[in-house]
């Protein structure tokens, strides 16, 4: 099955019904018409939504990594010139003239490092996951990251409800983890943002 299409069609369906109801309905249709077991259906949907989220996360993480490296550098900045020189020698040596390198190091000692770290942290906030979307050029659709998280949670909830209803003895791997809360990074515990009807209409250019 094309689980990406199932998810995208679910966005349109959000105007008429909840995500949870939608995925329960689609699971039942897939089982009735294509003999797809509930566990296989929900695994497919979860894999598809996780791939969409990974697209956003990997893009943001590529930009965040060098900022984290700079923050680590300033947090571990070596004040003493002799200790600094030993550290550089131990970690690959000097590039270019030693005196120029020493002069540059001494200039860096004059920088307000706490302020520098704050600036880098603010720059990291620009790459928070929830500021970005997963775009499908062939469909001209862009799904915001918080909406991807909301859909992922709905997939888990829909499977749990069907499992309880059908008294299934086992849960799939993605059920065992806690539902995510939408946020700017993997450790962000801010409340999940609710996606309203206006945003869905904007995604699909519904007037």
Predicted structure pTM score: 0.69
Q: Tell me the C-alpha to C-alpha distance, in Å, between residue 27 and each of 3, 38, 151, 156, 179.
A: 11, 6, 15, 12, 20
Contact present, 49 and 41 (Cβ < 8 Å): no
Half-sphere exposure of 101 (CA within 13 A, CB side): 14
User: 70-79 long-range CB contacts below 8 Å, 24 or more apart?
Assistant: 70/120, 71/117, 71/120, 71/121, 74/113, 74/116, 74/117, 74/120, 75/117, 77/108, 77/113, 79/109
Distance (Å, rounded) from C-alpha 31 to C-alpha 34? 6
Domain boundaries, the chain: 3-203
For 76-112, where are the alpha helices, taking DSSP H only? 81-90, 98-108
Q: Going residue by residue through the chain, which has 207 residues, state the pLDDT in tens, using 9 for 90 and above.
A: 899 999 988 887 666 678 999 999 999 999 999 999 999 999 999 999 999 999 999 999 999 999 999 999 898 888 888 888 887 776 666 666 777 888 888 888 888 889 999 999 999 999 999 999 998 766 678 899 999 999 999 999 999 999 887 754 455 555 555 455 544 444 443 334 445 555 655 655 544
Q: Tell me the C-alpha to C-alpha distance, in Å, between residue 83 and each of 40, 59, 78, 139.
A: 58, 37, 7, 57
Distance (Å, rounded) from C-alpha 130 to C-alpha 139? 21
CA 192 to chain centre: 13
């Amino acid at each position: 099955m094309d689980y990406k299409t199932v998810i995208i069609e679910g966005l349109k369906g959000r105007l008429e019904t909840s995500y949870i109801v939608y995925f329960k309905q689609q699971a039942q249709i897939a089982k009735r018409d294509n003999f797809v077991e509930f566990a296989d259906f929900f695994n497919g949907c979860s894999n598809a939504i996780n791939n969409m989220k990974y697209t956003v996360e990997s893009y943001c993480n590529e930009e965040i990594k060098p900022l984290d490296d700079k923050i680590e550098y300033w947090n571990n900045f070596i004040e003493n010139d002799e200790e600094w020189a030993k550290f550089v020698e131990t970690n690959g040596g000097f590039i270019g003239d030693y005196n120029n390198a020493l002069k540059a190091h001494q200039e860096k000692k004059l920088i307000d490092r706490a302020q520098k770290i704050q600036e880098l942290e603010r720059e990291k906030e620009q790459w928070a996951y929830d500021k970005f979307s997963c775009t499908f050029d062939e469909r001209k659709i862009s799904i915001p990251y918080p909406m991807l998280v909301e859909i992922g949670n709905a997939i888990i909830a829909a499977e749990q409800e069907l499992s309880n209803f059908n008294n299934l003895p086992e849960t799939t791997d993605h059920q065992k983890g806690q539902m995510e809360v939408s946020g700017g990074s993997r450790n962000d515990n801010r409340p999940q943002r609710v996606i309203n009807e206006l945003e869905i209409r904007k995604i699909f250019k519904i007037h």
